Amino acid sequence: SRLMNLGIGPKRTREDHKQVSDQMYAGYAEGRDLRGLVAIVGEEALSARDKRLLNFAGKYEDRFVRQGRNEDRSIQETLDLGWNLLGSIPENELTRMSPEMKKKYYKFKEEAKKEEK
C-alpha cells in the first residue's frame, strides 16, 4: 500500500525491504495459483520451477506469515528470513530484485539445487 511504501527503505528500515516484499508476494501469489493447477493435473505434471514456487508458497505461509504469538521478530530478522526463503528460488527467477540487492543479500541454497535434479 502507499502507507507501507512511505515507511520502508533506506533510513527507515533496510534498503532491500521493498524488493524483498515485492518478490516474496509475487512468488507467493504464483505458488498459490499453482495449487489450483495441482488439484486438476497433479503435482507430477508441474515443471521444476512450478514445484519450487509451490514449495515456496507453503514455506512462506508456515515460516513467514505464521509468526508465533510469542515470537518477537525484528524487521532485520524478518528481512533475513525473507532472503532465506527466497534462497530456494534461482537468482535469475528473482525478477523483482535489482542486481545490487541480489549481490548483497542473495544466497541460493544447495538443497534447492538438489530438488531440481
Q: Tell me: the pLDDT tens digits for 24-56?
A: 999 999 999 999 999 999 999 999 999 999 999
Fold of 13-116: 1.10.1140
Decide: residue 23, CB within 10 A, 0-12 exposed, 13-18 middle, 19+ buried: buried
Query: Which ranges of 1-117 does DSSP label H, i.e. alpha helix?
Result: 2-6, 17-41, 48-59, 75-86, 99-105, 110-116
Share of the chain above pLDDT 70, in %: 86
Share of the chain above pLDDT 90, in %: 70
Domain range summary for the chain, segments of one domain joined by +: 13-116
Least confident of 69-78, 85-94, 103-112: 103-112
Task: Say how far apart CA 59 and CA 65 lie, in whole Å.
Answer: 9
Pick the more confident residue, 22 or 6.
22
